[in-house]
Amino acid sequence: MIKNSILMLTLSLVVTSCSLSKNVREERKIINGNWILENVGYESNGGSFKSMLFNDANGFCFEGSTWYFLENNSTGSYTIPTTNSVCSGGARNIRWSVLENENGNDKLQFKYIDEKKKDIYGRTGYRLDIVSLSASQMTLKSDVNVDGSPVSVVYKFSKQ
């Protein structure tokens, strides 16, 4: 009897800890689908920047990239267009999720996966603040340091 009670308590804790809040479920439903990254901008610091985003490509290479998010299995991809010789175009597979943040903006997080949906770099991934999200527009932001000064990278998406 005690074994059964401990087992039931353990199962209920696992189920409770794995469930998503109503807000996160709604955000995942809105994010689900195809998006175009229209603009990559920079805030909080003057000047022009040459940036390497997600350890992948220069920031300007991401403009016009298409992003696909599949809610039911938390996978997706983004494709960088081959517009010039500087940008290494092509598709990158990702696993994504929404991380609830009770003290501010929820975060969209992703990491790279291979064709078999296995993590490529282990626990390495990226988190972006969800600044705004609607059925047609999404703005994400990540804060970084450039020469000791804070800079925010802002990603503006439109839904296809």
Q: Is the pLDDT of residue 102 over 90?
A: no
| Most confidently predicted of 23-27, 51-55, 85-89, 102-106 | 23-27
What pLDDT was estimated at residue 95? 97
| C-alpha to C-alpha distance for 19 and 16, rounded to whole angstroms | 5
pLDDT, greater one: 10 or 151? 151
Confirm whether pTM is higher than 0.75. Answer: yes
Token pair 């920079």 in the structure block, residue? 42
> String of b and e for 46-83 (b: at least 16 CB within 10 Å)?
eeeeebebbeebbbbbbbebbbbbebeeebbbbebeee
Tokens of 37: 């990254």
CA distance 120 to 82: 23
